């Protein structure tokens, strides 16, 4: 009691707190609190019915574009470059003159070979005259020996002279053939001093200039092994795609492929699988597939990075929904459907994907409205206000090439 008298303020504060607690407890326990019902929230969502139509099955890969043909242009003869007729970026025709090697020595070699051939042929003509003369002499001695005007030794000598003449002409004719071959080689070397394009294309690299020495037997360690020029043909291009092991059974020669590059975001280039390497790389466990594409306007360049979609089949009348409607959590894949104004979680099995649509193999029917917009705001059993969304329009044919 003496404590209460000594601290009247604390005593008053304690009594006031007790009264407030009692008042709050009375209000919470009163009949008004029991009668209040918390109103449940209704979430507005956008829904869409699944689409049923044929679906192209595509394998999507990335790859580099390569020229259909590409060569390093070398010289087949030794000499100094006299003139280069083309430069980087030039388009050339087949058999067009690209480079001239100084051919002074090769012209002399041709003239020398022609002179040697003429001399060898003259020797043959002279020897043919000797043969005719030896033959006449032999015939005369044979006639004279009948009348015993000459001895048998004279006949034998005439026969030996004729035989030697026959043997010599065969040797001279062989020399003529040898000179003809030498002339052909000299003319070939002279022809090689004019380097021509083996196929139509464009010059992508020029390594040397006029005055540089080139060799027909360039070593691999020589700086000349780069070649004089690089010629490539891009009127057709090829793309080498490394297909992973699980997709190997799906690809085959003749299948179509669609290619897109960043340089032309509105264009699609259509090609065909032309070659399949029927073996897997042991390091990457991939198989190389070659796609050839016509490129008449040369829009595609060697070295471009491309996205390749190989069309390997079609799923007829496939059930498809927007890919945004699917939720993936680790191994779980599900969508939300609407029934009786409530959201319901439905596990699904997914298939092929194309143009922002994904195939539903199992879990849905064409009559199940799927939540596309607002699916992250709902849960199992949540009350929803569904708003039908516009059905996606049919995509353009994948084989079209927009201008």
pLDDT value of residue 398: 41
> Would you say residue 131 has pLDDT above 50?
yes
Q: What is the pLDDT of residues 140-182, one digit of tens each?
A: 777 777 666 677 777 677 778 778 888 888 888 899 999 999 9
Cβ atoms of 232 and 204 within 8 Å: the answer is yes
Q: What is the pLDDT of residues 134-144, one digit of tens each?
A: 787 777 777 77
Q: What is the pTM of this model?
A: 0.65
pLDDT value of residue 17: 66
- Among residues 65, 62, 394, 403, the alpha carbon closest in space to that of 266 is found at 403
> What is the rounded CA–CA span in Å between residue 390 and residue 51?
12
Taking domain 75-102+194-227, whether its CATH number is 2.102.10.10 is answered by no
Mention the CATH class of domain 60-68+233-314.
mainly beta
Cα 348 to Cα 240, 336, 339, 351, 353, distances in angstroms: 35, 10, 17, 10, 14
- Among residues 93, 47, 42, 98, the alpha carbon closest in space to that of 229 is found at 98
pLDDT value of residue 135: 80
Q: What percent of the chain has pLDDT over 90?
A: 60
> Would you say residue 352 has pLDDT above 80?
yes
> What is the rounded CA–CA span in Å between residue 359 and residue 193?
63
How many CA within 13 A on the CB side of residue 191? 7
pLDDT value of residue 219: 47
pLDDT value of residue 235: 95
Confidence of residue 21 (pLDDT cuts 50, 70, 90): low
pLDDT value of residue 400: 35
Strand partners, 388: 47
pLDDT value of residue 90: 95
Task: Round the average pLDDT of the chain to a whole number and report it.
Answer: 85
Least confident of 129-138, 208-217, 262-271: 129-138
Cβ atoms of 253 and 310 within 8 Å: the answer is no
Cβ atoms of 70 and 318 within 8 Å: the answer is no
Taking domain 103-192, whether its CATH number is 3.30.70.2740 is answered by no
pLDDT value of residue 163: 81
Question: Domain ranges in the chain?
Answer: 46-53+316-388, 60-68+233-314, 75-102+194-227, 103-192
Q: What is the pLDDT of residues 355-394, one digit of tens each?
A: 788 999 999 999 999 999 988 889 899 999 999 988 765 4
Which architecture does CATH list for 46-53+316-388?
A: Beta Barrel (2.40)
Confidence of residue 16 (pLDDT cuts 50, 70, 90): low
> What is the rounded CA–CA span in Å between residue 75 and residue 214?
6
> What is the rounded CA–CA span in Å between residue 356 and residue 322?
6
- Write out the E strands in 267-348: 269-280, 286-294, 305-322, 327-329, 332-339, 342-347
- Among residues 81, 45, 36, 27, the alpha carbon closest in space to that of 212 is found at 81
pLDDT value of residue 10: 57
């Amino acid at each position: 009691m003496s404590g209460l008298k000594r601290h009247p303020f604390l005593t008053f504060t304690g009594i006031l707190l007790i009264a407030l607690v009692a008042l709050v407890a009375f209000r919470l326990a009163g009949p008004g609190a029991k009668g209040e019902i918390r109103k449940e929230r209704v979430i507005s969502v956008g829904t869409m019915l699944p689409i049923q139509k044929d679906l192209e099955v595509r394998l999507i890969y990335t790859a580099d574009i390569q020229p259909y043909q590409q060569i390093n242009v070398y010289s087949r003869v030794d000499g100094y470059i006299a003139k280069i007729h083309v430069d980087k970026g030039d388009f050339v025709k087949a058999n067009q003159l690209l480079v001239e090697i100084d051919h002074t020595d090769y012209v002399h070699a041709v003239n020398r070979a022609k002179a040697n051939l003429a001399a060898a042929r003259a020797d043959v003509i002279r020897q043919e005259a000797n043969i005719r003369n030896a033959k006449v002499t032999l015939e005369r001695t044979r006639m004279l020996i009948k009348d015993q005007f000459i001895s048998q030794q004279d006949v034998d000598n005439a026969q030996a002279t004729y035989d030697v003449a026959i043997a010599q002409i065969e040797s001279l004719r062989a020399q003529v053939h040898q000179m003809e071959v030498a002339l052909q080689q000299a003319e070939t070397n002279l022809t090689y001093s004019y380097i021509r394009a083996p196929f139509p294309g464009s010059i992508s690299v020029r390594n040397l200039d006029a005055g540089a020495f080139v060799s027909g037997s360039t070593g691999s360690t020589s700086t000349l092994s780069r070649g004089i020029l690089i010629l490539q043909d891009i009127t057709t291009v090829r793309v080498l795609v490394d297909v992973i092991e699980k997709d190997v059974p799906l690809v085959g020669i003749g299948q179509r492929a669609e290619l897109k590059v960043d340089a032309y975001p509105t264009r699609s280039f259509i090609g065909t699988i032309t070659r399949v390497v029927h073996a897997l790389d042991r390091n990457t466990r991939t198989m190389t597939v070659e796609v050839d594409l016509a490129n008449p306007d040369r829009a595609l360049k060697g070295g471009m990075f491309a996205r390749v979609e190989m069309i390997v089949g079609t799923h007829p009348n496939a059930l498809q929904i927007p890919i945004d409607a699917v939720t993936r959590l680790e191994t779980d894949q599900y969508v939300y459907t609407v029934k009786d104004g409530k959201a319901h979680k439905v596990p699904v099995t997914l298939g092929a994907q194309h143009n922002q649509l994904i195939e539903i193999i199992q879990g849905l029917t064409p009559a199940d409205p799927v939540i596309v917009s607002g699916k992250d705001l709902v849960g199992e059993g949540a009350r929803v206000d569904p708003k039908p969304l516009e059905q996606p329009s049919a995509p353009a044919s994948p084989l079209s090439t927009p201008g």
